[in-house]
Amino acid sequence: MIVMEPPAAENAATRVDWRERAERVISGESLTRAEARQILAVDDVEILGLLDAAFLLRRHNFGTEMKLNMLVNAKSGLCPEDCNYCSQARGADTGIDRYPLLDKDTLVAGAREARDRGASTYCIVASGRGPTPKELTHVTDAVREIKQEMPIRICACLGLLKEGQADQLKDAGVDRYNHNINTSRRHHEAIVSTHTYDDRVETVNDAKSVGISPCSGAIVGMGETDDDRVDMAFELHAMGAESIPINFLIPIAGTPMGDQAPLTPYDCLRILAMFRFVSPDREIRVAGGREIRLRSLQPLALFAANSIFLGDYLTTDGQDSQQDRDMIDDLGFGLEEVGSCSGGGSCGSGGCSS
Ligand code: SF4
């Protein structure tokens, strides 16, 4: 008699009924840390079952709608901080453009371009530890002008906020503030020494406390463990981050992380699915590194994530916007309309009664 051996891939992680687990999450059960770890251990050959379940969660909360964001690098380089992954950090020898804050007309023109490309959120991102009073006034003036002209949502990402600065941003009409925790509390000191993990959390909380929608996410592939990734997912959920960008490290020559081993496309998909399971109703964005880390598997990421950046990142190139639109069309997904609400209830972009 021939005894059939089970496939090598059939381990404890792959025997999970992911659909059933997604249904439990939809019915209100929270994922446990052990279950999140199981997601990160799924075999490559079992990844479609996991993504199918992640898609159940995504569809339950966001349908097949994609949210498009576009960013402007409003101030480049010249940063006194020492984030190991960043091409704009002090000491980084990367040959990037360095310039002070762009003038107001350029910031407003960027918002028009974002709107014309179909982005519902325009992200104004500036390098540095945090904005000076003059820089903040400059940005808020631009935001007021943009808000008068068009209904696009504005996300500001200007670094650590000082007392009163979140109020100023709120008054100007900023809908969302991004400040990533980037990595886990445990791994933070291996990444940066010039500010603490709590500094970052405090800024996210400042934005939230004045009614600005908090956006905070991660950079994965910086030598962190699976436990660190699980920590990040649960911490961001507990902080109430309504938008969670997941960046995949692009090792940049001239930074201390220039030789970091890259994540595989399947690693990226497992990580996105884990974040979706932990935060089923939050915006999960496939952010920097999407094109080069996921490569030909990019479309699969959108079964877990519901948001992407269009165009280029801060100092690295993205792909052509038309390619992104084609990918979304080919999947049969739609676009979030400019000015519409993606839920959450506290973004303050107007027209929302929740
Ligand atoms: S990530 Fe931000 S704070 Fe850190 S070095 Fe880069 S620009 Fe500066």
**Crossing angle for the helix pair 226-239 and 197-209, nearest 10 degrees?**
30
Full-model pTM: 0.91
CB 112 within 8 A of CB 131: no
Comparing CA positions, the residue from 102, 106, 104, 157 lying closest to residue 128 is 157
Tell whether ligand 1 has an atom less than 6 A from the beta carbon of residue 127. Answer: yes
Q: List the Cα angle 23/26/30 in 5-degree steps.
A: 100
Helix intervals (H) in 240-320: 265-278, 298-301
Per-residue pLDDT of the chain (354 residues; tens, 9 = 90+): 444 444 444 444 447 999 999 999 999 999 999 999 999 999 999 999 999 999 999 999 999 999 999 999 999 887 899 999 998 888 787 778 888 999 999 999 999 999 998 999 999 999 999 999 999 999 999 999 999 999 999 999 999 999 999 999 999 999 999 999 999 999 999 999 999 999 999 999 999 999 999 999 999 999 999 999 999 999 999 999 999 999 999 998 889 999 999 999 999 999 999 999 999 999 999 999 999 999 999 999 999 999 999 876 666 676 788 889 999 999 999 998 765 544 444 333 333 322
Q: Which residues pair with 153 in a beta bridge?
A: 121
| Residue 249 Cβ contacting ligand 1 at under 6 Å | no
Ligand 1 mean position to 161 CA, how many Å? 14
Question: With a 6 A CB cut-off, is 89 part of the ligand 1 pocket?
Answer: yes
From 82, 88, 188, mutation site for ligand 1 pocket: most ligand atoms within 8 A of C-beta = 88
Residue 43, SS3 per DSSP = coil
Query: CB of 86 closer than 6 A to ligand 1?
Result: yes
Cα distances (Å, whole numbers) of residue 121 to 68, 171, 275: 7, 18, 21
Pocket test for ligand 1, best of 84, 85, 86, 255 (most atoms within 8 A of CB): 86
DSSP, res 290: I
Cβ proximity of 282 and 244 under 8 Å: yes
Of ligand 1's atoms, which has the minimum distance to the CA of residue 127? 7
Domain 58-335: CATH architecture, name and number where available? Alpha-Beta Barrel (3.20)
For residue 126 and ligand 1, the question of a CB distance below 6 A is answered with: no
Q: Which residues contact 166 (CB under 8 A, 6 or more apart)?
A: 177, 206, 207, 209, 210, 212
- In the structure encoding, which two tokens stand for residue 326, read together? 């084609």
The atom number, within ligand 1, closest to the CA of 90 reads 5
Domain ranges of the chain: 58-335
Kindly give, in sequence order, each residue whose CB lies less than 8 Å from that of residue 294, ignoring residues fewer than 6 positions away. 248, 265, 268, 269, 286, 300, 301
